[in-house]
Structure formats: C-alpha cells, structure tokens
Structure 1
C-alpha cells in the first residue's frame, strides 16, 4: 500500500506550500536519478536502450495525463516558454492579426506574443475581473483574431477557467486555442480533446513534481505541419538514427520540435513522479488538493485582518490561495513566513499558498498558527 510519508518524508518544522512555484520531488524520483547517476558512473551509456524505454513510458504517461489522442501529439521540451515560442514563431502571421490573452498572465504567456509586434501582430488583453471571464475572452475575439492563449489557472489569483467552454467558443469563431497548463497539469484533470485546444504546454517542476528543465508540448495532429520549424538537428528527423541517409524530412510526430539529444536525466525523474500521480489518480489528487485549500481558506477566514484574493468557489480554483494581511507589507510578510519555515511565494496582490495532495494537514495548521500569532508589521 502506498504510504505518502515514504515518498515525502516530513522535515520537522517545514511547511511547504509552494507547489505553484517549484515542487519537492517524491522519493521515487530521487531514487530514479540516483540509479541513473550510478549507471553513468559504472557503465556509461551501455544500457541506453533501457533509458529509451523510460523516455517512452514518460511520453505515454503524459499522453494519458493530457488525454491526448496519441503519443505522436507529445513533444518533450525544455520549458513552457520554449513551447509557447514554437507556436508564436511557427504560425504564419499576417499584419493586423490579433492574439487574445488575459490581463493576469505570467510573463511567459505575454512577452512571447508581444514579441510578434514587428510582424504587425496586435495583443489584446482582457480583464478577468468580471463574473464571466470566459464570456469576456470570447467577446474580445473578432474577425482579426487568430489565436487565444490563456493560462488554464492564473498564477497569482488561482482563477481556473472553463476550458471546454473556451474551446467550443474559439472553434465557433475560427480561433485557435493555446493553453498554458502549468498551474493545472498535475493538480487537476486536463483533457485537451474535451477543450479542443490546438496547443497546450506545461513545465514538469510544479504540480507534476518533477525537475526543472523538462516539460511537455501538446500539438494537435492537424497543426503540427502548420508550425514553421526554426530548430533543426538529428533528433527531429523522421528517420532519426539513420546517420547515413542524406535525404531527410522532419518527423511527422511532435518529435519534430525536439531538435537534439534528449534530457534523459530529467526524463528519469519526471517519469517516476508521474507514476506517483497515476498511482494515486488525478481525481483523487484533485480532491485532496481541494481539501487542503479549503482547510487553508477556512483557517485564514478566522484570522483577523486577512483578505483573500482567490476564488472561493471550488469549481473556479485548483491549488492556489492568495491573501494579504492588514498592517503588513507583502514583502515583509513573505520574509517573516520564510523565517518561520512556511515556504510560499509573493505573487499578485499578496502571499500565494499552494499545497499539494500529499501536504500534511498538520503543517497547514502550523502555518495558520504562525499567521495568527504575527503582530502588525
């Protein structure tokens, strides 16, 4: 039987509530990397075919996690920004084209589109502050809109959007949907087919509990050849490994976006981490995260001077709860919490807390106690 304390040993006094930034690894990921390192010390790449089997399992796990139609839709990339750049600089833009985003996006999902300005592409930022953020986003899509790029969960507020509704609305308007899924994938189920997105991407180092430097890029089959390639190498070829072939073409699969040697070290860790999420099941992961977020919400609401800046409706959030405290500068409060071993982040209007499914409820209670005992800064 799975024991979460074996995967995430408790560190006395540490309250880790920062999975929306960089997550701890489960023990099985650490062990996978240790074994990989020992193999490299002892036998080098003698067993490289076995390593490729791990990479294959990783692609299969990501396919299931996203409910993609095939592993052919999955590329392994360095990070979310790289995948967004593949889309932004792969599409055939025309002067006057528009990209619709929200006014709450992490810089990765803003700067890449603003960088298209020299090509005459206009970025339209939409406020999500109203009661119908999906309606506002879709209303901003006009005849010149080519693409909507949206975070499924906003990094600062934690607002979760209705992706199937956005997908259906974009399809009806002839607009491509691109989803930055980094704050949802691994925290909540995500179905790229149900939301009819053309592209989705996420890093592995947040809710997927993996290392930095390895992420996933989902590219729908009908869109792969519509993205112009700007990176070339031996690995992205249809006949990769046939080194004597002089004629070549890009891989028909999403591997066409992987120009060179893979991040095998990262693959070892991320494959192991995703095996844990599959063992628990994403439905159970989401339920346990919601229980912990609710515990934080109810505890914060009992503390004088706390204002919450995240949705209180469970259908509108994933794993993020952001707040501020009267009399405290956010930077000072963040620093004080870190001194007390409450690991969090300063984002948006306040302090962002982000527990995962395995987070010990007692560490949440300790965090709330620390907050309740703070005197005015």
Structure 2
C-alpha cells in the first residue's frame, strides 16, 4: 500500500484518521480539478464532449465498484440524502405501511422515513446491540413492512452488517432492501447483485476519496419506473440534448433522477479518485484498512481506562473504531487530539478513528503514543 504514498502529500505531522467523515483527496484528484479549471480559463466549454467521456467513465467505474448489472442502473446525484429522498418520496405508500431501520442510524437514514408520517407510514427502529443484529432486523419485518433501510456500516459504532443475509431475508419476506452504503463503499467490497438490494447510495467524500457534492444512486432496473419523480429538467429526459423536441419522457435509465446540469467539476475529481481505488483493488483496500483498524484496536486495549465502543469481532468491523477514556469527557478529548494534529471525530459517546488503506504507520504509532500519555499510561 505504501507504493501509493505519493498520492497523499498531507501536511507534515498530520495524523488523518477521519475518513468516515471527509477524506483528503489523492494527488490525482487535485490534478484533475486543476486541469479542468485551466481548461475553463483558457478554452471554456470548447471540449465539452471530452468532459462527457469522463462522466461516462465515472459511471462505469461506479458500476464496477457496485457490481451493478448495467451503467443504466447508476445515477449521479448531489448526496446520499437526495438519493434516500428519491426512494422515500418516490414509492407509492399506503396508510399503515412500515419502514424498518436501526436505532443507530445517521440522521439522513432516519429523518427521511420519519417525514413520511403524514402519509401514515410508521418507522420501526431496531436495537442492534444484541448478538444477532440481522435476525433482529428481519424479525421486525412484519406483514405491513414495505422497506428495510439500513447503513451497511453504522457511522458511530462501526458495526458492519451482513448485507447478503439481509437481502435474502428481505426477498423471502417480500420487503424492499435499501442500503445506505456511505460507510462501506470504498472501504470494503460491495456487490448490489449479491445483496439483492433494491437501492443503494453513497456520497463520494468519505471512503471514495472524492469531493462533497457528488453521490452515486443505484436503483434496480425493475424499480426505476415505480419511483414517482418530483424533479424535472432537460437532463433527465430520454432525448436529452434534443432541445427543439416538444414531446418528452423521462429517461429509461437512472439518469431520470438527474434533473439538470451535471456536477462536472465533481465528476473530474471523483473519477480520478476511483481510478486509484481500482488500481489498488478493493480486496487489497479492505485488507489494508482491517490491518490498520486492528493495529489501533490492539494498541487501545493496552491503555488504562479505555472502553472500546466498536465490535471486537473483526468480521463485524468496517473502517471505524470508536473508544472512550475514563478520565476524559468526549469533547475535551477530541479538542486535545485535534491540537495534536490527530484528526478524528466525536461520535457515539466516544472518539471515532477511521484510517484508510494508505494511512502510514507513523500516524497510528503517534496517535497511540499521544493517547497513552493522555490515559496516564
């Protein structure tokens, strides 16, 4: 993994362990944006057809990353929340329908379902703290359950769920399966066909190493036409670009969810970032992240007064490790770590660390050394 260190030229002394929030860009993403800016300065949109080829490449990279059946299943949206909203306000709900989520979801995957209350939709929140969270989620799916929406990896605890098992259970129960993939995509492999999910979505600014403002939305082909549209414009038309045409229909592909002009600047950056992940390979990325999380976990266990708030089973861990120190409250500890150039996040009652595949040994060793001192070890 260290062969790619020249892609990450971070400030000396910075220990960046916050990829579950917003990631630094690799060098190639910055170069792509710089080149795009220079094109805009010197030639404007003269080469717009070339830009569209980059966008096409981005869709194909995302298709491969998700193992979607077709590039037509991929929409490029603003963020995960927008994609979840397309699902929540696109389905034809009936009074009494239920949506099952966990009680640990990031607000994006809770509020959007609670907003359906005026339509008579009930949200069931399942406690994932037991020994078999998948069984708990599936047991909550009753005859009125229309959809199960779950984060692949819980943002605070780092709990990683068995998506294929959930997909099988949802299929058997006749329940739609929706995956908020933002804390897994780019950190571990994700196969939407193997998971048999109806929908999956993720922003590009976390584990995908891209910019904010651009997300992927996977919508299974048989469900696209079932989602009612609430946004309309030139770009979502089947014959987009034929401006003189007066009759119109939404695109048959997932582009039907993209109402207006694309985020071409974001596409340049994210396409470059995904090229790096593809060069490394997602199996290797996942292995490198697991190695670094285990390194942090073993080091934390040796500190006095530490409570690990993330699962101990490696099969249950994504790229997130959350802990607390008995002698420190959450916010003062976060502020102290930030002052030491340890970039992390206060989440889930503790401090969340999230290394990526390229994270250097020095960043982990320095972080553990600082925590050892703060713990009084």
State the TM-score, normalizing by the size of structure 2: 0.99
Indicate the residue corresponding to 2:317 in structure 1: 317
Distance 1:263 1:236 in 2: 14
Distance 1:33 1:176 in 2: 38
Residue by residue over 1:268-321, the C-alpha shift from the partner in whole angstroms, topping out at 9 and shown as x without a partner, is 000000000000000000000000001100110111111101112111111000
What is the Cα deviation at residue 5 of structure 1?
A: 2.1
Indicate the residue corresponding to 1:51 in structure 2: 51
What is the Cα deviation at residue 374 of structure 1?
A: 1.2
Residue by residue over 1:249-271, the C-alpha shift from the partner in whole angstroms, topping out at 9 and shown as x without a partner, is 00000000000000000000000
Residue by residue over 1:97-123, the C-alpha shift from the partner in whole angstroms, topping out at 9 and shown as x without a partner, is 000000000000000000000000000
Distance 2:2 2:51 in 1: 25
What is the Cα deviation at residue 9 of structure 1?
A: 1.7
Indicate the residue corresponding to 1:212 in structure 2: 212
Distance 2:2 2:11 in 1: 19
Indicate the residue corresponding to 2:13 in structure 1: 13
Residues 2/249 of structure 1: CA separation in 2 closer, same or farther (3 Å cut): farther
Residue by residue over 1:172-227, the C-alpha shift from the partner in whole angstroms, topping out at 9 and shown as x without a partner, is 00000000000000000000000000000000000000000000000000000000
Indicate the residue corresponding to 1:276 in structure 2: 276
Indicate the residue corresponding to 2:286 in structure 1: 286
Distance 1:282 1:327 in 2: 38
CA contact (8 A) 2:208 2:274 kept: yes
Residues 238/50 of structure 1: CA separation in 2 closer, same or farther (3 Å cut): same
Equivalences for residues 149-298 of structure 1 within 5 A: 149-298=149-298
Secondary structure of residue in 2 paired with 1:178: strand
Please list every run of 5 or more consecutive structure 1 residues that lacks an aligned counterpart in the other structure: none
Indicate the residue corresponding to 2:68 in structure 1: 68
Distance 1:10 1:83 in 2: 32
Please list every run of 5 or more consecutive structure 2 residues that lacks an aligned counterpart in the other structure: none
Residue by residue over 1:51-107, the C-alpha shift from the partner in whole angstroms, topping out at 9 and shown as x without a partner, is 000000000000000000000000000000000000000000000000000000000
Indicate the residue corresponding to 2:339 in structure 1: 339
Indicate the residue corresponding to 1:134 in structure 2: 134
What is the Cα deviation at residue 349 of structure 1?
A: 2.0
Distance 2:181 2:85 in 1: 15
Name whichever of 3-12 and 266-275 sits farther off: 3-12
Secondary structure of residue in 2 paired with 1:125: strand
What is the Cα deviation at residue 231 of structure 1?
A: 0.1
What is the Cα deviation at residue 355 of structure 1?
A: 0.1
Equivalences for residues 57-136 of structure 1 within 5 A: 57-136=57-136
CA RMSD of aligned residues (A): 1.0
Distance 2:147 2:237 in 1: 28
What is the Cα deviation at residue 375 of structure 1?
A: 5.5
Secondary structure of residue in 1 paired with 2:99: strand
Distance 2:275 2:313 in 1: 30
Name whichever of 6-15 and 283-292 sits farther off: 6-15
CA contact (8 A) 2:214 2:266 kept: yes
Distance 1:375 1:182 in 2: 32
What is the Cα deviation at residue 3 of structure 1?
A: 3.1
State the TM-score, normalizing by the size of structure 1: 0.99
| Count of residues in Structure 1 that have an aligned counterpart in Structure 2 | 376
Distance 1:297 1:219 in 2: 36
What is the Cα deviation at residue 2 of structure 1?
A: 8.3
